[in-house]
Amino acid sequence: MIREMTAADWPAVKRIYEEGIVTGFATFETEAPSYEEWDATHLAVCRFVYVNDRGEVLGWIVLSPVSDRCVYGGVAEETVYVSEKARG
């Protein structure tokens, strides 16, 4: 099931993000940010998680602004992470 992400999902979202750090495929970051840092860099809208039948978050998607310049208003970068448990 896909649903809106809440702050309560952060531990699972962070865990999946950290999987991306370990593999080096998803990010060049070396450590996961705090929720506050992460929250400040992503748009408050269009934050979704995929949850399996057991209630486990297995993926997430968010949007980040591309630029503060007015000519880029409404343009966003999408970020998608999928847990190792859900990859084929």
CATH number of this structure's domain 2-86: 3.40.630.30
Q: Which helix (H) or strand (E) holds 28?
A: none
- Tens-place pLDDT, residues 42-76: 999 999 999 999 999 999 999 999 999 999 999 99
CA dihedral 43→36→80→72, nearest 10 degrees, is 30
User: What residue spans define the domains of the chain?
Assistant: 2-86
pLDDT above 90: residue 9:
yes
Q: Structure pTM?
A: 0.91
